[in-house]
Amino acid sequence: MESIGGLVVYSGRGANSSLLIGIGNPLRGDDGVGPWLVETWARRRAWREAALAAAQGAAADAADGVVGDLSAGLRVRVVDQLLPELAEELAAVRRVLFVDAWRVDSKAGAPGGTPLQVGPADTGPSGGGPLGSGHQGSGHQGSGHHGCRPRLLPIATADRRDPSAMGWGVPAWTPGHHLTPPVLLQLTAGLYGRAPAAHSLLIPATAFAATDPGGGAARFSAGLRIQLPLAWPLLDQWLQQGAGMLEHPS
Amino acid sequence: MTRTITIDPVTRIEGHARITLQLDAGGHLVEARFHVTEFRGFETFCQGRPFHEMAAITARICGICPVSHLLTSARTGDRLLAVRIPPAAVKLRRLLNLAQISQSHALSFFHLSSPDFLLGWQSDPQRRNLFGLMAAEPELARAGIGLRQFGQAIIERLAGRRIHNAWAVPGGVRSPLALEDRDRILAALPAARAAAALALERFKRLLDGPLQRELNSFGTFPSLFLALVGPGGRWEHLDGRGDAWEERPAAGTHGLVQGPTGLQAGASPDSLAPQAGASSFQSPSSSGGLRLVAADGRVLADGLDEDDYPTFLAEAVEPWSYLKFPYYRPLGYPEGMYRVGPLARLNVCERIGTPWADAELADLRQRCGRVALSSFAYHQARLVEIVACLEGIEALLHDPELQDPHVRSRASLNAREAVGVGEAPRGTLFHHYRVNEQGLITRVNLIIATGQNNLAMNRTVLQIARECLPDPVPASIPEALLNRIEAGIRCFDPCLSCSTHAAGAMPIRLELRAADGRLLAQQVRD
């Protein structure tokens, strides 16, 4: 896929093209979990592919301005925040996963608000229930911090058609430069006539003080580190479910 | 009883700010102020860091202008090393800056400002945004996204990531541009050019029609203009003298109209008549560097050296804003008000030097005169500069020297103090470092483009408020009028995160206050 300039026409790797987006600031503690998770996954995948390519005597494909461009038609991108420019890229894939930190209130022991970038998508009418085992209902409910686990949630298609009906608790268009996933998806559909099937993988997070981004997973809060092993199976679950995803009707 | 009207915060800009309009007892407008309400003190926490880290550190001032700080800081580092950076590195840095300017201008024009033009000042504020633009002008909305994507992808291809990269370093850059990446950028150029052409065609039609009034009267006032120019007074964006800085005369020996002794605080404005060393547009003699032009087109100072900036720039402080007020020192404060940024760059240069951009510059000058005084003309200037960037990018990509793998010169610390200057999308940017013998930073001064426009932004708000508001000002002001006042600030595309060295986004609040500070009325828009 050629992702720069102009109005993209996808010329990539077939019907199973997918985009994995890690959202967050690596300098701000748990907020960096989205980028860390997808980068770590991409590195591991790249090592496996390189080993396989070496074994087969073939060169692995070069990355195309993204963290990884994997042979299964999966592209990986990390962003500090969602910007309108991503609409062009979203329009070119069949499905997308937004991986993000989900702010929970560690003192009260319960989710304290909406995810940093992603909303309570499980409330959407067509998405069905969340795929994560720790689902406790909407993003504003839950049985306490210990019961608040990583979640894999569909972003309902209806949410994309009418931002006023999203119930995200944020304006459809925030006055700054960044967007929420459903708003970005709606922008994508509006501008390009299509948008991918979308999910969010939300990881409960509590600590957002400045940290050393080079510290690996050790820089995350103890609560988040406990949750990380639960996030990997959800990511794998999404990766394996590609064929079953519905494409958003334009 | 006097009253104060407050617009807080100002929307669709980068950072936190509010506007207050001061009314007298009769309800007549007497003063307008643009307050910047955030502060980070970046200069202080840079102290003690190795100078070679400064490019990566200062790039994190905000997420909008990291490239500008990266490049200016690397430039300052070059001067601490006293190295001539390899020609390929010069060109790669220039390529990066052109990409940064084009994508930043696209953000300002398409995402932040064009909803005002295309949907109308009176339109529903809930729809006066990119979504409204998408519904009304989908082709233009796609063009804006495409142009943003184009510039950002170049940054990513060169530097590895779109923001907060550390690719430029003292002595050059970390890596060359891969041939494959060059070809991909070239392949994307036609679509970017088409997007720019579409925006220009659409905007000029509006300037001929419904926006004619704004072009004539929106923040229109005399001021000075400051920007870099290249040799012969050509439009410049990175370093007015290319990489040949060590071939320049010693600091303080040329450029200032007052001569080598520099300019003293409180110098008489009379001394600013063109003198030896000054040039005119009719007889360009500039070898490049910083140029200061008056509202009537006189070149007041030319070839100014960044090393001498304390002699011609000073910064005032007001208790009601965290943003300083730089001014041209010889004229004093606040008479030394000057503007920087795309309009200033086009006002001070003789020409851009590429055919399409020069044709668009001629159109701007035909509409606004040789020196455009309307702050509203910043919008057209951004589009002209986008064209200049696209043509510049294309020329650089066809330059075989760009592929030279030698992109970094290495040296140890050779100077204890240096100033770097560059043109950020929003205007001229200065970095000034002092280091100790170990190369650790002992003092930093950053003079940011938005700060340099502070006096002009305040004047613009006042002028628009006088133009738009009824006299006396009623207690309830229609939203559309508030939006026009805000839009005066957006002409400058301010980045307050950089200029106060912070981050955020902003709704709007308007307050009417009595002389004793009592809140009489309030309007809030989240």
**What per-residue confidence (pLDDT) applies to A104?**
81
| Cβ–Cβ below 8 Å for A7 and B192 | no
For A80, the closest of B63, B149, B191 (CB atoms) is B63
Neighboring chain A residues of B138 at a CB cutoff of 8 Å: 190-191
| Cβ–Cβ below 8 Å for A172 and B131 | yes
Chains A, B: CB pairs < 8 Å: 97
| Cβ–Cβ below 8 Å for B142 and A3 | no
In angstroms, rounded to a whole number, what is the distance separating the alpha carbons of residues A240 and B471? 67
Q: Could you tell me which residue, A142 or B210, shows the higher pLDDT?
A: B210
| CATH number at A18-244 | 3.40.50.1450
| Cβ–Cβ below 8 Å for B131 and A187 | yes
For residue A2, pLDDT beyond 50: no
**What per-residue confidence (pLDDT) applies to B351?**
96
In angstroms, rounded to a whole number, what is the distance separating the alpha carbons of residues B236 and B346? 9
For B145, the closest of A88, A174, A175 (CB atoms) is A88
Q: Could you tell me which residue, A98 or A172, shows the higher pLDDT?
A: A98
Taking residue A67's Cβ as centre, other Cβ atoms within 10 Å add up to 20
Position B215 confidence tier, pLDDT thresholds 50, 70, 90: very high
| Mean pLDDT, chain B, whole residue set | 83
For residue A166, pLDDT beyond 60: no
Backbone angles phi, psi at B291, to 5 degrees: -130, 140
**What per-residue confidence (pLDDT) applies to B14?**
55
CA-closest candidate to residue B65, choices B450, B521, B456: B450
Tell me the ipTM for this assembly: 0.72
Residue B210 per-residue DSSP state: T
Identify the closest residue of chain B to A193 by CA–CA distance: B138
Query: Strand ranges (DSSP E) for B97-151?
Result: none
In angstroms, rounded to a whole number, what is the distance separating the alpha carbons of residues A109 and A146? 7
* Cβ within 8 Å of residue B276, ≥6 positions away: B257, B259
Position B503 confidence tier, pLDDT thresholds 50, 70, 90: very low
Please list the residues that pair with B419 across neighbouring strands: B432
Which amino acid is it at B194?
A: A
Token couple for B489: 């600030």
Report yes or no: A25 and A205 within 8 Å, Cβ to Cβ. Answer: no
Position B22 confidence tier, pLDDT thresholds 50, 70, 90: confident
Distance of CA A81 to the CA centre of its chain: 11
**What per-residue confidence (pLDDT) applies to B411?**
95
User: For the residues B328-346, what does the mean pLDDT come to?
Assistant: 97
The H or E element that residue B146 is part of is: helix B138-159
Choose the most confident range, by mean pLDDT, from A67-81, B327-341, B450-464, B508-522: B327-341
Domain locations in chain B as residue ranges: 3-38+468-525, 61-217+397-451, 224-371
The H or E element that residue B84 is part of is: none
Residue for token pair 């002409």 = B491
The predicted-structure confidence for B44-85, as pLDDT tens digits, reads as follows 888 999 999 998 888 877 767 789 999 999 999 999 999 999
Pick from A82, A83, A85, A174 the residue to mutate for testing the B interface (most B CBs within 10 Å): A85
Position B434 confidence tier, pLDDT thresholds 50, 70, 90: very high
Position A235 confidence tier, pLDDT thresholds 50, 70, 90: very high
Position B506 confidence tier, pLDDT thresholds 50, 70, 90: very low
Report yes or no: B377 and B368 within 8 Å, Cβ to Cβ. Answer: yes
Q: Could you tell me which residue, B267 or A85, shows the higher pLDDT?
A: A85
In angstroms, rounded to a whole number, what is the distance separating the alpha carbons of residues A103 and B335? 49
Position B477 confidence tier, pLDDT thresholds 50, 70, 90: confident
Distance from CA of B410 to the nearest CA of A (A): 26
Report yes or no: B293 and B306 within 8 Å, Cβ to Cβ. Answer: no
**What per-residue confidence (pLDDT) applies to B515?**
58
pTM of this prediction exceeds 0.90 = no
Report yes or no: B448 and B429 within 8 Å, Cβ to Cβ. Answer: yes
Report yes or no: B440 and B416 within 8 Å, Cβ to Cβ. Answer: no
Neighboring chain A residues of B187 at a CB cutoff of 8 Å: 2, 5
Neighboring chain B residues of A6 at a CB cutoff of 8 Å: 146, 150, 188, 190-192, 194-195
**What per-residue confidence (pLDDT) applies to B514?**
54
| Cβ–Cβ below 8 Å for B149 and A3 | yes
User: For the residues B300-329, what does the mean pLDDT come to?
Assistant: 91
Position B426 confidence tier, pLDDT thresholds 50, 70, 90: very high
For B191, the closest of A3, A7, A187 (CB atoms) is A7
**What per-residue confidence (pLDDT) applies to A17?**
87
**What per-residue confidence (pLDDT) applies to B277?**
37
In angstroms, rounded to a whole number, what is the distance separating the alpha carbons of residues A89 and B281? 46
Neighboring chain A residues of B164 at a CB cutoff of 8 Å: 80
The predicted-structure confidence for B396-412, as pLDDT tens digits, reads as follows 999 999 999 999 999 99
| Mean pLDDT, chain A, whole residue set | 68
Position B520 confidence tier, pLDDT thresholds 50, 70, 90: low
| DSSP string across B215-260 | HHHTTB---EEEEEE-GGGBB-SS-TTTT-GGGSPPTTSSS-TT-T
Backbone angles phi, psi at B168, to 5 degrees: -85, 135
3-state secondary structure of A140: coil
User: For the residues B8-15, what does the mean pLDDT come to?
Assistant: 58
Distance from CA of B93 to the nearest CA of A (A): 18
Position A245 confidence tier, pLDDT thresholds 50, 70, 90: very low
User: For the residues A91-111, what does the mean pLDDT come to?
Assistant: 78
For residue B379, pLDDT beyond 60: yes
Residue B180 per-residue DSSP state: H
Q: Assign residue B302 a region (left: φ > 0; alpha: ψ between -120 and 50; beta: otherwise).
A: beta
**What per-residue confidence (pLDDT) applies to A122?**
35
Distance from CA of B224 to the nearest CA of A (A): 31
Question: Any idea which of A237-246, B210-219, B344-353, B443-452 has the lowest mean pLDDT?
Answer: A237-246
Please give the share of chain B, as a percent, with pLDDT higher than 90: 57
Choose the most confident range, by mean pLDDT, from A28-42, B127-141, B361-375: B361-375
For residue B316, pLDDT beyond 70: yes
Distance from CA of B31 to the nearest CA of A (A): 27
**What per-residue confidence (pLDDT) applies to A4?**
33
| Cβ–Cβ below 8 Å for A173 and B153 | no
For residue B10, pLDDT beyond 90: no
The H or E element that residue B197 is part of is: helix B179-208
| Cβ–Cβ below 8 Å for A175 and B12 | yes
β-strands B427-435, B441-447 pairing: antiparallel
Neighboring chain B residues of A191 at a CB cutoff of 8 Å: 134, 138, 141-142, 145
* Cβ within 8 Å of residue B148, ≥6 positions away: A83, A84, A85, B103, B106, B107, B110, B111
Q: Nearest 5 degrees, angle CA B361-CA B365-CA B366?
A: 115
Q: Could you tell me which residue, B355 or B128, shows the higher pLDDT?
A: B355
For residue B239, pLDDT beyond 70: yes
| Cβ–Cβ below 8 Å for B149 and A88 | yes
User: For the residues B148-160, what does the mean pLDDT come to?
Assistant: 92
Position B524 confidence tier, pLDDT thresholds 50, 70, 90: low
Question: Any idea which of A178-182, B271-275, B304-308 has the lowest mean pLDDT?
Answer: B271-275
Question: Any idea which of A13-17, A203-207, B47-51, B342-346 has the lowest mean pLDDT?
Answer: A13-17
Q: How far is CA B33 from CA B36, B71, B332, in A?
A: 10, 32, 19
| Cβ–Cβ below 8 Å for B130 and A173 | yes
Tell me which architecture the domain covering B61-217+397-451 has in CATH. Orthogonal Bundle (1.10)
Backbone angles phi, psi at B108, to 5 degrees: -65, -50
Please give the share of chain B, as a percent, with pLDDT higher than 70: 80
Give all strands of the β-sheet with A197-205 in edge-to-edge order: A68-70, A74-79, A18-23, A95-103, A197-205, A151-154
**What per-residue confidence (pLDDT) applies to B226?**
98
The predicted-structure confidence for B242-293, as pLDDT tens digits, reads as follows 543 333 333 333 333 332 232 333 333 333 333 333 444 443 456 789 999 9
Position B9 confidence tier, pLDDT thresholds 50, 70, 90: low
In angstroms, rounded to a whole number, what is the distance separating the alpha carbons of residues B506 and B246? 44
**What per-residue confidence (pLDDT) applies to B405?**
95
User: For the residues A72-100, what does the mean pLDDT come to?
Assistant: 88
Neighboring chain A residues of B154 at a CB cutoff of 8 Å: 4
CA atoms within 13 Å, Cβ hemisphere of B484: 22
The dihedral formed by the CA atoms of B369, B374, B375 and B377, expressed in degrees to the nearest 10? -40
Residue for token pair 């910007």 = A83
Domain locations in chain A as residue ranges: 18-244
Neighboring chain A residues of B107 at a CB cutoff of 8 Å: 177
